[in-house]
Amino acid sequence: MASTTTCTRFTDEYQLFEELGKGAFSVVRRCMKIPTGQEYAAKIINTKKLSARDHQKLEREARICRLLKHPNIGEEIFSDILNDICYVYCMNLQ
């Protein structure tokens, strides 16, 4: 089961690379978990732009992601509270 990790900086554990795609409130970027070298796609959401309803949708999406059990879905969901950014999930790219 996926777990939630709250940290002050996502970039303490992951190195971010190029943009893979984007939407109205989020961007997907390739990243690498520094200790393991494993590559992922991270969905990064700027929560400053979200309405109260959008926050509810984000919380629902995060809850659903925590329930997913698949080898290509990472187990960590980060929230970078200081910068109003939420990294919803990481999908394995390798």
Tell me whether residue 60 is exposed, middle or buried, using C-beta atoms within 10 angstroms of its C-beta: 0 to 12, 13 to 18, 19 or more.
Answer: exposed
Residue 40's nearest CA partner among 17, 22, 11 is: 17
Report whether 57 belongs to an annotated binding site.
no
Annotated binding site: 43
Annotated binding site for ATP: 43
